[in-house]
Amino acid sequence: MDAQTIFVTGSTGFIGSHVIGELLNKGYRVRCAVRPGPKADFFKSYYSSKFDESRFQVIDIPDIASSGLEAFKDVQAIIHLASPPGHASAEEIYKGSVDGTLNIVKHAERAGVQRIIITGMIQTGKLEQHLSSREEVIRCKDPFIVYESCKVISQKAVWEWATCHPHLDITYISIPLTYGPFASSFYLPKPAFPGVNRFLYQLLVPNGSYPFTGRYVDVRDVAKVHVSALRSPLASSLGERKEVTFVSPHVIDLSCAVSLLAEQRPLLKGRLITGHAPVLKEEQLKCDYGRIEMILGFRKDEFTNFEKTLLDMIDNFVEIEARWIEEGYVVEIPHY
């Protein structure tokens, strides 16, 4: 049987770059949506030297909320990872998260796409009540509340639409903060600290701030389950929505994290955070690992432990940092 063609949004992002590598390693044909710019240029150059157009294609789509998305022709499945850029306004975040996701699922259904896998987020519980309308989102000045609320509104809107279109198989994989090393195809400006890895980079700042949560998952595990979801049981056979909460069973102990770095990476001792590590008191998330295995084929004992996540991530950063310094850049990890 010919390899399936998978359309991926957010392919140049932290998670997306790992997903692309996983798809290609599994033999899929990949068609990527990218926003034109330096990231897209680097991404195209990286993969065009390794795969021809029969395996890997890049489509410039500046705005997924309004594009016709003719690129879905002959696509069997979509992995939707894209989210608005960090500098976006509240209106742009709503448009990308809510309108963009709905635009994708509607065009996918018309094009005969069989499956869609969408990345959701686990609500932090820090908000008493999420915003529920476009107008409330646009008025809000807190970017964290805007982003989380748009994710909630988007997911609700997709499931409402899906009730009238049950033939399109949809899987939502909701994840917490996602840590790990960058994929080799990831474009990193010089110097820059994108994504949530910056929360753990604080462990390398003597007067840094500790992360506010110990809930996490390794980016490589996230990539694996987004790809394995392409072979998951159909929702029609399960008789229920395919919503999966995907959280590592290994909770972060911040004090142990600092001790681990001191012990395993002694050259970094002089850089480590000096403040007293807080004990994170959080409610246990309801994560059904049996359900994860049933739907995504990923066992509880397959999750990457935190020690490996942390050491691989820090080693990756230190290597990148050394290159930046060699090129004459001043590298200073920002405070958060």
Check residue 1 and give its pLDDT: 45
Q: Which of 185-189, 232-236, 254-258, 300-304 has the lowest mean pLDDT?
A: 185-189
Segment 144-154 shows an average pLDDT of 87
Torsion from C-alpha of 126, 225, 159, 70, nearest 10 degrees: 120
> 10 Å Cβ neighbour count for 166?
10
| 100 contacts 64 by C-beta, under 8 angstroms | yes
Q: Which of 48-62, 117-131, 133-147, 269-283 has the lowest mean pLDDT?
A: 117-131
Question: Is the torsion defined by CA of 282, 283, 288, 292 positive or negative?
Answer: negative
Question: Given the DSSP bridges, would you call strands 77-80 and 56-60 parallel, antiparallel or unpaired?
Answer: unpaired
Check residue 81 and give its pLDDT: 94
How many residues appear in the chain?
336
Check residue 335 and give its pLDDT: 76
| 33 contacts 68 by C-beta, under 8 angstroms | no
Give per-residue pLDDT as tens, 267-312: 999 999 999 999 888 777 789 999 999 999 999 999 999 999 999 9
Check residue 126 and give its pLDDT: 52
Alpha carbon distance 117, 289 (integer Å): 19
Cβ burial of 26 (10 Å; 0-12, 13-18, 19+) is middle
Segment 169-174 shows an average pLDDT of 96
| 131 contacts 183 by C-beta, under 8 angstroms | no
Measured between its terminal Cα atoms, the distance across the chain in Å is 50
Give per-residue pLDDT as tens, 9-66: 999 999 999 999 999 999 999 999 888 888 888 888 899 888 988 899 998 887 776 7
| 285 contacts 215 by C-beta, under 8 angstroms | yes
Q: Which residue has the tokens 């150059």?
A: 45
125 confidence band (pLDDT: 50, 70, 90): low
Q: What CATH fold (topology level) applies to the domain 5-182+216-245? A: Rossmann fold (3.40.50)
Check residue 182 and give its pLDDT: 95
What is the chain's mean pLDDT, rounded? Answer: 90
Check residue 311 and give its pLDDT: 98
Q: Which H or E run includes 325?
A: helix 306-326
Check residue 160 and give its pLDDT: 95
Written as six digits, the tokens of 249 are: 């069973």
Which residues, 6+ apart, have CB-to-CB distance to 202 below 8 Å? 208, 209, 210, 211, 273, 333, 335, 336
Closest CA to 149 of 106, 98, 80: 98
Alpha carbon distance 224, 210 (integer Å): 28
Cβ burial of 37 (10 Å; 0-12, 13-18, 19+) is middle
Q: Which of 56-65, 122-131, 190-199, 231-240 has the lowest mean pLDDT?
A: 122-131
Phi-psi region of 5 (alpha: psi -120 to 50; beta: other; left: phi over 0): beta
Tell me what percent of the residues of the chain surpass a pLDDT of 90.
63
Quick one: angle between helices 289-296 and 219-228, nearest 10?
Answer: 50
Q: Is the pLDDT of residue 324 over 90?
A: yes
Q: Is the pLDDT of residue 202 over 70?
A: yes
DSSP, collapsed to helix, strand or coil, labels residue 162 as helix
| 6 contacts 28 by C-beta, under 8 angstroms | yes
| 175 contacts 229 by C-beta, under 8 angstroms | no
Q: Is the pLDDT of residue 123 over 70?
A: no
Where in the chain are the domains? Answer: 5-182+216-245
For residue 149, give the amino acid letter: S
Q: Is the pLDDT of residue 129 over 70?
A: no
Angle made by CA atoms 114, 116, 120, in degrees to the nearest 5: 165
333 confidence band (pLDDT: 50, 70, 90): confident
